[in-house]
Chains A and B, each alone.
Chain A
Amino acid sequence: MKQAIVLAAGEGQRLRPFTVTRPKAMLSIADKPILRYVIESLAANGIRNIVIVIGYRKEQVLDYMGSGEQFGVELTYVTQEAQLGTAHALSQAEDVAEDEFLVISGDNLIEADTISDFVQIKPEALLVKRVNNPVRYGVVNTRDDAVTDIVEKPKEASGNLVNTGIYAFTREVFRFTQSILDIPDVLNDMITGGHTIKFLETAGTWLDVVYPWDILNLNGAVLQGMEASSGGVIEAGVTLKGQVSIGEDTVIRSGSYISGPVVIGSGCDIGPGVSIMPATSIGDNVIISSFTEVKNSVIDDDVSIGTGSILHDSVVGKGCVIKGRFTACSGQSEVRINDEIPSVNVGAMLGEDCTVESSVVAQPGVIVGNYSQIQAMKMISGRIPDRSLVY
Chain B
Amino acid sequence: MCGIIGYVGERKAQPVLLTGLGKLEYRGYDSCGIAVAAGDGGLEIRKDIGRVKALADSLSSLDGSIGIGHTRWATHGEPSQINAHPQADCAGKIAVVHNGTINNYQRLRNSLTAEGHTLVSETDTEAIPHLIEKYYEGDLLNAVEKALADIDGSYTMIALMSGERKLVAARKESPLIIGLGDGENYIASDIPAILDYTSRVIYLEDDDIAVVTADSVSIRNNGDDISREEHKITWSVEDAQKGGYEHFMLKEIHEQPKVIRETLAECMSTVESTADLAAHGKDVPENVLILASGTSFHAGLIGKYIIEELVKTPVRVEYAHEYNYYGRALAGNKAIVITQSGETTDAFKAIKRLQESGCEVVTITNVVGSTASRLANQTVYTRAGPEISVAATKTHLAQIIALYWLALPYSRMDIRKLDELIMELRQLPVKVQQVLDNQQDILEQALKLAEYDNAFFIGRGINYPVALEGALKLKEVSYVHAEGYAAGELKHGPFALLGTHTPVVAVVARDDTYDAVLTNIKEIKARKSPLLALVEEGNEEINALADSVIYVPKVDPLFSPVVNTVVLQLIAYYIARQRGCPIDFPRNLAKTVTVE
- Residue among A58, A76, A248, A285 with max Cβ neighbours from chain B (10 Å): A285
A65 within 8 A of B: yes
A141 to chain B, nearest CB (A): 38
Which A residues are in CB contact (< 8 Å) with B243? 62-63, 65-67, 75
The 8 A CB mask of A58-99 against B (1 = contact, 0 = none) is 110111011101001011110000000000000000000000
B172 to chain A, nearest CB (A): 11
Verify A304–B426 contact, CB threshold 8 A: yes
Verify A319–B244 contact, CB threshold 8 A: no
B500 within 8 A of A: no
Q: How many residues of A sit at the interface, in one of the four size bands?
A: 35 or more
Contact partner, A353, options B268, B426, B430, Cβ 8 Å: B430
Verify A304–B429 contact, CB threshold 8 A: no
A131 to chain B, nearest CB (A): 34
Query: Which residues of B425-483 are within 8 A (CB) of A?
Result: 426-427, 429-431, 433-434, 436-437, 439
B332 to chain A, nearest CB (A): 32
B412 within 8 A of A: no
B241 within 8 A of A: yes
Given contacts A67-B243, A75-B244, A284-B261, contact A59 B436 (CB under 8 A): yes
Query: Which residues of B407-438 are within 8 A (CB) of A?
Result: 423, 426-427, 429-431, 433-434, 436-437
The 8 A CB mask of A253-270 against B (1 = contact, 0 = none) is 100000000000011010
Query: Which residues of A25-73 are within 8 A (CB) of B?
Result: 46, 48, 54, 57-59, 61-63, 65-67, 69, 72
Verify B426–A248 contact, CB threshold 8 A: no
A81 to chain B, nearest CB (A): 13
Verify B274–A269 contact, CB threshold 8 A: yes
* Interchain pairs with CB closer than 8 A, number: 96
Verify B269–A249 contact, CB threshold 8 A: yes
B173 within 8 A of A: yes
B389 to chain A, nearest CB (A): 15
- Residue among A46, A58, A267, A318 with max Cβ neighbours from chain B (10 Å): A267
A149 within 8 A of B: no
A71 to chain B, nearest CB (A): 11
Verify A321–B423 contact, CB threshold 8 A: yes
Q: How many residues of B sit at the interface, in one of the four size bands?
A: 35 or more
B254 within 8 A of A: yes
Verify A48–B436 contact, CB threshold 8 A: no
A21 within 8 A of B: yes
B273 within 8 A of A: yes
Verify B273–A302 contact, CB threshold 8 A: no
Verify A319–B431 contact, CB threshold 8 A: yes
Verify B255–A352 contact, CB threshold 8 A: no
A251 within 8 A of B: yes
The 8 A CB mask of A222-256 against B (1 = contact, 0 = none) is 00000000000000000000000000110101000
A111 within 8 A of B: no
Given contacts A21-B437, A62-B244, contact A304 B423 (CB under 8 A): yes
Verify A285–B245 contact, CB threshold 8 A: no
Residue of A nearest to B429 (CB): A302
A287 within 8 A of B: yes
Verify B244–A77 contact, CB threshold 8 A: yes
Verify A267–B261 contact, CB threshold 8 A: yes
Which A residues are in CB contact (< 8 Å) with B190? 69
Contact partner, A319, options B268, B427, B439, Cβ 8 Å: B427
Verify B274–A62 contact, CB threshold 8 A: no
- Residue among A54, A69, A284 with max Cβ neighbours from chain B (10 Å): A69
Verify A285–B244 contact, CB threshold 8 A: no
A70 to chain B, nearest CB (A): 9
Which B residues are in CB contact (< 8 Å) with A318? 430, 433
Verify A69–B269 contact, CB threshold 8 A: no
Which B residues are in CB contact (< 8 Å) with A46? 205
A11 within 8 A of B: no
B307 to chain A, nearest CB (A): 24
Verify A285–B429 contact, CB threshold 8 A: yes
Verify A48–B427 contact, CB threshold 8 A: no
Verify A319–B430 contact, CB threshold 8 A: yes
B279 within 8 A of A: no
A134 to chain B, nearest CB (A): 37
User: In the complex the two chains form, what is the Cα distance from A148 to B413 in whole Å?
Assistant: 73
User: In the complex the two chains form, what is the Cα distance from A266 to B426 in whole Å?
Assistant: 13
Which B residues are in CB contact (< 8 Å) with A293? none
B258 within 8 A of A: yes
Residue of B nearest to A74 (CB): B240
Given contacts A248-B265, A253-B275, A269-B275, contact A287 B244 (CB under 8 A): no
A301 within 8 A of B: yes
Residue of B nearest to A317 (CB): B430
User: In the complex the two chains form, what is the Cα distance from A177 to B251 in whole Å?
Assistant: 32
Verify B254–A59 contact, CB threshold 8 A: yes
Verify A67–B240 contact, CB threshold 8 A: yes
A246 to chain B, nearest CB (A): 13
Which B residues are in CB contact (< 8 Å) with A21? 433-434, 437
Residue of A nearest to B430 (CB): A319
Verify A302–B265 contact, CB threshold 8 A: no
Query: Which residues of B253-280 are within 8 A (CB) of A?
Result: 254-255, 258, 261-262, 264-266, 268-269, 273-275
User: In the complex the two chains form, what is the Cα distance from A302 to B437 in whole Å?
Assistant: 17
Residue of A nearest to B423 (CB): A304
User: In the complex the two chains form, what is the Cα distance from A353 to B426 in whole Å?
Assistant: 12
Verify B203–A285 contact, CB threshold 8 A: no
Which A residues are in CB contact (< 8 Å) with B254? 59, 62-63
Residue of A nearest to B26 (CB): A67
Which A residues are in CB contact (< 8 Å) with B427? 302, 304, 319, 321, 353
Given contacts A59-B436, A249-B268, contact A301 B240 (CB under 8 A): no
Verify A72–B173 contact, CB threshold 8 A: yes
Query: Which residues of B506-558 are within 8 A (CB) of A?
Result: 553
B175 within 8 A of A: yes
- Residue among A2, A66, A77 with max Cβ neighbours from chain B (10 Å): A66
B384 to chain A, nearest CB (A): 14
Which A residues are in CB contact (< 8 Å) with B173? 72
Query: Which residues of A294-326 are within 8 A (CB) of B?
Result: 301-302, 304, 318-319, 321
Which B residues are in CB contact (< 8 Å) with A353? 427, 430-431, 434, 553
Which B residues are in CB contact (< 8 Å) with A284? 261, 265
B55 to chain A, nearest CB (A): 24
The 8 A CB mask of B321-365 against A (1 = contact, 0 = none) is 000000000000000000000000000000000000000000000
B36 to chain A, nearest CB (A): 28
Which A residues are in CB contact (< 8 Å) with B426? 285, 287, 302, 304
Verify B240–A287 contact, CB threshold 8 A: no
- Residue among A46, A61, A63, A75 with max Cβ neighbours from chain B (10 Å): A63
Verify A302–B261 contact, CB threshold 8 A: yes
A304 to chain B, nearest CB (A): 5
Contact partner, A251, options B251, B273, B439, Cβ 8 Å: B273
Which A residues are in CB contact (< 8 Å) with B242? 67
Which A residues are in CB contact (< 8 Å) with B436? 59
User: In the complex the two chains form, what is the Cα distance from A251 to B274 in whole Å?
Assistant: 10
Residue of B nearest to A284 (CB): B261
The 8 A CB mask of B204-246 against A (1 = contact, 0 = none) is 0100000000000000000000000100000100011111110
Which B residues are in CB contact (< 8 Å) with A253? 275
B310 to chain A, nearest CB (A): 20
11 contacts between A and B (CB under 8 A): A62-B243, A67-B240, A67-B242, A72-B175, A75-B244, A248-B265, A251-B273, A267-B265, A302-B430, A318-B433, A321-B423
Closest 5 CB pairs of A and B: A319-B430, A267-B265, A66-B243, A77-B244, A249-B265
Q: A59-B436, A65-B243, A287-B423 are in contact. List 9 more A-B contacts (CB 8 A).
A: A62-B244, A62-B245, A63-B255, A67-B242, A74-B203, A267-B262, A269-B274, A285-B264, A302-B426
